[in-house]
Chains A and B, each alone.
Chain A
Amino acid sequence: DAGITQSPRHKVTETGTPVTLRCHQTENHRYMYWYRQDPGHGLRLIHYSYGVKDTDKGEVSDGYSVSRSKTEDFLLTLESATSSQTSVYFCAISVSTGQETQYFGPGTRLLVL
């Protein structure tokens, strides 16, 4: 599991409420990512981080914000959840073993009613 945990693993919320998902790594890797997975789309990058307080947008960043105040934690926030944000969210880290390779966490299943 590459030392990645995600919390919560499942969440049901209502439209308009804020939601924060947490990704925690145990090995101090520099790069961390948030993806969403939807049928027919594969995995799409939401935001990523290349260090503490250093983040950038991915291809589907609208409606999401992120923060990284410690190397080990990367938070994804839905400021005001919408039904279109119902998805499975995966965190990943990039590990350098001669080649930067991404490893994924177990995922968070989010349902927005």
Chain B
Amino acid sequence: QQQVKQSPQSLIVQKGGISIINCAYENTAFDYFPWYQQFPGKGPALLIAIRPDVSEKKEGRFTISFNKSAKQFSLHIMDSQPGDSATYFCAAQNDYKLSFGAGTTVTVRA
């Protein structure tokens, strides 16, 4: 079964709006939580990542919020732009191996 649960499956946001993607996990051995962005026909590209001893990390318009006690983490995309339209995957790492969420397709309408 999927070790990382991701929602929603897809979302549509207006340009300038906020996109929020949520992920949850059960395995407390996970020690690193990256997010990947994927455009059609391309490989996933690392977007931003966080360790469980940090509650929030921000890089430009992208922010990860991490709740260790709830075993949940989320990606916020602020001021969404049409170029952000892509599929986003959360992941969790343990012992050099990644477990991925099922992905969220984000569409930003101009």
Chains A and B are bound partners? yes
A41 to B98, CA, bound (A): 14
Instruction: Write out the residue numbers on chain A whose beta carbons fall within 8 Å of the beta carbon of B41.
Output: 107
Q: Say yes or no: A102 contacts B98, CB within 8 Å.
A: yes
Interface residues of A in 97-113 (CB under 8 A from B): 99-107
Q: Quick one: CB contact mask for B25-64 with A, threshold 8 Å, 1 for yes? A: 0000000101010000111111001010000000000000
Interface residues on B, range: 20 to 34
The reply on A74 being an interface residue by CB < 8 A is no
A41: nearest chain-B partner, CB-CB: B102
Instruction: Write out the residue numbers on chain B whose beta carbons fall within 8 Å of the beta carbon of A90.
Output: 43-44
A94 to B32, CA, bound (A): 13
The reply on B2 being an interface residue by CB < 8 A is yes
CB distance from B72 to the nearest CB of A (A): 17
- Stretch among B11-19, B76-84, B89-97 lining the A interface: B89-97
Residue in A44, A94, A100, A106 whose beta carbon sits within 8 Å of that of B100 in the complex? A44
Q: Chain A residues in contact with chain B, CB under 8 A? A: 1, 31, 33, 40-45, 48, 50, 58, 90, 94, 99-107
User: Given A42-B4, A42-B101, A43-B98, 16 more contacts at CB 8 Å?
Assistant: A40-B102, A42-B2, A42-B6, A42-B102, A44-B100, A48-B96, A48-B97, A58-B97, A94-B96, A99-B49, A99-B51, A100-B93, A101-B32, A101-B34, A101-B46, A107-B43
